[in-house]
């Protein structure tokens, strides 16, 4: 039993897990779900990419670490009451343990990846965060962990397998749910030949990574092109077949205005929800009053997305 569950909560969870086990191949992950059983999860684990969102100062320097921490604290305080779970990193989001302002009923997902990235540049590689241990997860009251994996078809399958295996082993030892996120890259040294090649890679990536059986797979929106969600539903059906279990979409790479429609179409194709950040709060980072911007713009976005998830459930 976690520090945040009462005996009655645990009993209810055990009853629900018993009655649903015959209906689905994956364990349910109630601390991360809305009351409808979907996922309306908020991503706040960005690191150097978040620093880049602030832009450079007039002196050409990037903001200090405390600016990232302050933004994350503010976002958790304002947005977590409207999310079924929040994803945070150890370095800037959990440096002092579980956020005191994390809303009751909002699950906590801890990133167990180290993102090797220069500010303003893409992620070059990913390694496992050795400081995210079962003891650390217990101290934070974590409900799940998340691992980001960079994928391309030409190389790195063994390294990816080892990385995912370590994450699933950690989740099992800590007694928390596991999320694996796949981000596709073209083969080294070239660009995608076409949008269709990238869409095929997103499905191939899902087939490889989901074969490890994480509790939830986190995918780029399948079939999406900027301004065009017409192929998302059909590609999401294929994604559901490739994953064979619970999966959610992320918002990176999607125009913010397109994201609600992309979520709606992916839900129709079998997705279980979203785990997203940029489409919800990216444009608030540089506002003079971030808190007001989060209240005025990000809360309505998150509420709309959550309503789409809940409205899609049987």
> What are the pLDDT digits (tens) for 250-281?
999 999 999 999 999 999 999 999 999 999 99
Please report, in angstroms and rounded to a whole number, the separation of the first and last CA atoms in the chain: 29
Instruction: Clarify whether 173 is annotated catalytic.
Output: no
In this predicted model, what pLDDT tens digit does every residue of 125-157 receive, in sequence order? 999 999 999 999 999 999 999 999 999 999 999
Mean per-residue pLDDT over the chain, rounded = 91
pLDDT band at 58 (very low <50, low <70, confident <90, very high): confident
In this predicted model, what pLDDT tens digit does every residue of 199-240 receive, in sequence order? 999 999 999 999 999 999 999 999 999 999 999 999 999 999
Among residues 133, 128, 135, 131, which one has the least CA distance to residue 164?
128
**pLDDT (mean) for 82-99:** 94
Beta-strand pair 125-128/113-116: antiparallel
Q: How far apart are CA 183 and CA 203, in angstroms?
A: 11
The pLDDT of residue 6 is above 60: no
Q: Which long-range contacts (CB under 8 A, 24 or more apart) does 152-160 make?
A: 152/184, 152/185, 152/186, 152/187, 152/188, 152/201, 153/187, 153/201, 153/204, 154/187, 154/188, 155/187, 155/188, 157/208, 160/208, 160/209
**Could you tell me if 216 and 182 are in contact, meaning their C-beta atoms sit under 8 angstroms apart?**
no
In this predicted structure, what is the pLDDT of residue 189?
Answer: 85
Which residues, 6 or more positions from 212, have their beta carbon under 8 angstroms from its beta carbon? 161, 164, 165, 168, 180
Question: For the ranges 11-20, 85-94, 242-251, which has the lowest average pLDDT?
Answer: 11-20
Q: Using alpha carbons, list the distances in angstroms from residue 301 to 187, 221, 292, 305, 306.
A: 35, 18, 14, 6, 9
Query: What DSSP assignment string belongs to 77-108?
Result: HHHGGG-SEEEE-TTTTSBTBS-TTPPTT-EE
pLDDT band at 188 (very low <50, low <70, confident <90, very high): confident
In this predicted structure, what is the pLDDT of residue 161?
Answer: 98
In this predicted structure, what is the pLDDT of residue 28?
Answer: 53
The pLDDT of residue 10 is above 50: no
The pLDDT of residue 310 is above 70: yes
**In the chain, what are the domain boundaries?**
7-312
Please tell me whether residue 293 adopts helix, strand or coil conformation. Answer: helix
CATH class of 7-312: alpha beta
Q: How far apart are CA 308 and CA 197, in angstroms?
A: 29
Percent of the chain with pLDDT over 90: 86
Q: How far apart are CA 233 and CA 199, in angstroms?
A: 13
Among residues 65, 22, 78, which one has the least CA distance to residue 281?
78
* Catalytic site residue from 72, 146, 173, 218: 218
* Residue 141 or 19, more confident: 141
**pLDDT (mean) for 151-175:** 97
């Amino acid at each position: 039993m976690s520090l945040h569950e009462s005996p009655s909560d645990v009993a209810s969870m055990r009853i629900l897990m018993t009655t649903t086990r015959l209906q689905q191949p994956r364990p349910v992950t109630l601390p991360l779900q809305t009351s409808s059983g979907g996922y309306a999860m908020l991503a706040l684990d960005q690191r150097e990419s978040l620093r880049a969102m602030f832009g450079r100062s007039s002196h050409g320097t990037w903001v200090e670490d405390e600016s990232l921490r302050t933004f994350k604290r503010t976002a958790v305080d304002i947005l977590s009451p409207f999310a079924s779970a929040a994803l945070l990193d150890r370095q800037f989001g959990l440096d002092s343990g579980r956020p005191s302002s994390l809303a009751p009923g909002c699950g906590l997902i801890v990133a167990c990846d180290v993102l090797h990235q220069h500010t303003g540049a893409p992620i070059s590689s990913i390694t496992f965060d050795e400081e995210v241990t079962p003891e650390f997860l217990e101290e934070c009251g974590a409900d799940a962990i998340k691992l980001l994996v960079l994928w391309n078809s030409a190389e790195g399958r063994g390294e990816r397998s080892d990385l995912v295996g370590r994450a699933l082993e950690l989740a099992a030892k800590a007694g928390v749910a596991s999320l694996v996120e796949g981000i596709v890259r073209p083969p080294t040294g070239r660009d995608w030949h076409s949008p269709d090649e990238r869409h095929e890679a997103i499905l191939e990536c899902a087939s490889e990574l989901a074969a490890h059986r994480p509790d939830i797979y986190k995918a780029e929106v399948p079939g999406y092109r900027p301004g065009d969600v017409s192929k998302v539903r059909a590609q999401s059906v294929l994604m559901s077949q490739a994953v064979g279990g619970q999966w959610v979409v992320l918002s990176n790479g999607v125009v913010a205005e397109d994201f609600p429609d992309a979520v709606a179409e992916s839900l129709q194709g079998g997705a279980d929800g979203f785990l997203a950040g940029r489409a919800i709060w990216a444009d608030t980072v540089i506002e003079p009053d971030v808190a007001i911007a989060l209240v005025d713009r990000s809360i309505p976005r998150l509420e709309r997305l959550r309503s789409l998830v809940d409205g899609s459930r049987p």
